[in-house]
């Protein structure tokens, strides 16, 4: 019983151009800033949405990330 092994051709990763990654990086950055706003600053005088719904929804996240709210 002999086994014939053949070496697989070496594959190289295909580089992704920056112009294809850049829009996703900008989108991710804006989404992150929006998330940090809602977790950290959506309260009181700077509130964009009236009421305390957003504040109560992200309340534990605020304390976990170190934002004071009381």
Structurally, how many domains does the chain consist of? 1
Measured CA to CA, the distance from residue 68 to residue 8 in angstroms comes to 58
Residue 10 inside a domain? The answer is: no
Measured CA to CA, the distance from residue 49 to residue 26 in angstroms comes to 25
pTM for this prediction: 0.58
- Where are the extended beta strands (E) located within the chain? none
**Segment 1-56, tens digit of pLDDT:** 667 777 777 888 888 899 999 999 999 999 999 888 877 777 766 677 777 777 77
At 11, list the tokens.
Answer: 């594959």
Residue 57 inside a domain? The answer is: yes
Residue 24 inside a domain? The answer is: yes
Residue 1 inside a domain? The answer is: no
- Residue with token string 């804006």: 30
């Amino acid at each position: 019983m002999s086994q014939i092994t053949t070496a697989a051709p070496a594959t190289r990763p295909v580089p992704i151009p920056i112009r294809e990654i850049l829009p996703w990086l900008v989108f991710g950055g804006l989404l992150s800033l929006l998330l940090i706003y809602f977790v950290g600053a959506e309260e009181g005088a700077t509130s964009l949405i009236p009421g305390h719904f957003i504040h109560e929804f992200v309340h534990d996240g605020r304390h976990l990330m170190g934002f004071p709210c009381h």
